[in-house]
Structure 1
Amino acid sequence: MIGEEPSLTKATTAQIDTKQINWASFFKDQRRTATIFLKNTGDYPLVILDTSTTCGCTVTRYDPHPAAPSDSLKIQVTYTPKDTGYFEEWITIRCNTTPPTFRVSVKGNVL
């Protein structure tokens, strides 16, 4: 693309440190937070392009700056319960990687 650094448009590889966040049981008035790490295992800078969740209860925050090869990016995940009972939501992380997405399950039981 015009105006972009060529290395940021190249695909790299990455490894995620977890594919599941399990908060077990907790009360409805409690918010839960976890951090996911995405390590750049390739030769080009790693960029998180976007994240999406299957529920408005789950929110992600991440650093938009590129990670150099062998460095990691962190994604903070916060879950705010709206109802009681078992839940399982999904986070999709889209990056300049091959494959281009990572999925993480977020689950627990709200009392």
Structure 2
Amino acid sequence: MLVDDSMAIQQSLTRLLASVPGLEVIGCAATSEDALSLIATARPDVVVLDVDLGPGGRGMDVLRQASQNHPAVKFMMLSNYGWQAMRTGFMDAGAEAYFDKGSQFMQARAWLADQATK
């Protein structure tokens, strides 16, 4: 499942992930509210979650609430912020991976491909 307030990023990720055997994007959300609702109904294995959902909310809020309500779901964070302190904060809150949108799309794809084989 993809959560990003940018439709362009959602489309790019959907295309990128279509080439990964064993992965299927089961839905997309652009706001915190939509993300929490979709997580509850779709029960994804992995959520690719943007750190900043613009006026639609914060990724940290989604991570904390969804992790508490759906502990089996894994979260991979995507961000335009590559700061180590930001990365550490999200990892401490329960994210399993954190990648920079500007330079780490292929590393994110590789991490997701690894999850598909588990």
TM range (shorter): under 0.3
Greater helix fraction, Structure 1 or Structure 2: 2
TM-score, length of structure 1 as denominator length: 0.25
Instruction: Tell me the TM-score normalised to structure 2 length.
Output: 0.24
- Larger strand share, 1 or 2: 1
Q: Which has the higher contact order (CA 8 A, sep 6+)?
A: 1
**The structure with more radius of gyration:** 1
